[in-house]
Amino acid sequence: MLSEGWETVKAAVRRLGEIGGENVTLFLISLLKSDDARLRNCAALELERIKDNRAVEPLLEAIFRKENHNRNGTMVFALESLDCSEKLKEIFRILFFETFEAKMSAYSILSEQEFYFIEEDLLEIKAMWEDIKLHPGKCPDFGDEMAYDWMEDAVEGFVSHLEKKSEKK
């Protein structure tokens, strides 16, 4: 696993995943803290493959580590196969503040999964979006038409729940 070769590292991590078990899963999760981006990505891909939801929080922690900012797309991809239903704000943070590859997976998660949320979550997401539109420099790829469309579509899709609630009153 400490090899210089990507294929060797990937094969070793895959073999561990095939062995499976509690200790393997916890070991793979621990690799998300590695300074080696290749090792983190291999662990994330294997966690995605084995679909163990215990990886959600550690993946989010790794994604939001400052030093991983431009190298976290694979970790966000790994979240696509996991239950993010209680992580709406975190997925929107990825959509708003991470790079294009991460945004793509975040949008997929927002489009494909169901979420539990409260009104305050939606108000916070709406406020983040309004702030980004006022300060586009905070948002990588804000000027990219596709990324902008993803963000706008996701915000409108969720914030529309606020409008439906006010119509019921």
Residue 11 makes CB contacts below 8 A (sequence gap 6+) with none
pLDDT classification of 1: cutoffs 50, 70, 90: low
- Encode pLDDT of 138-149 as tens digits: 999 999 999 999
61 CB-near residues (< 8 Å, 6+ apart)? 32
Q: Would you say residue 67 has pLDDT above 80?
A: yes
Q: Where are the domains of the chain?
A: 1-82, 84-169
Alpha helix locations (H) across the chain? Answer: 6-19, 22-31, 37-50, 56-64, 73-79, 88-97, 100-112, 119-134, 145-168
**Average pLDDT across the chain, whole number:** 91
Which of 5, 63, 65, 54 is CA-nearest to residue 26?
A: 54
| Residue-level length of the chain | 169
Name the DSSP class of 32.
T
Euclidean distance between CA atoms 82 and 154, whole angstroms:
19
Q: Are 50 and 25 contacting, i.e. CB atoms less than 8 angstroms apart?
A: yes
- Whether 36 contacts 68, CB under 8 Å: no
Nearest to 49 by CA among 1, 17, 9, 75: 17
In this predicted structure, the answer to whether residue 2 has a pLDDT above a threshold of 90 is no
Note whether 139 and 96 are within 8 A (CB): yes
User: Which H or E element spans position 95?
Assistant: helix 88-97
Digit-coded pLDDT (tens) for 88-132: 999 999 999 999 999 999 999 999 999 999 999 999 999 999 999
Answer CATH for 1-82 from 3.10.300.10, 1.25.10.10, 1.10.10.10, 1.25.40.10? 1.25.10.10
Over residues 55-71, the mean pLDDT reads 94
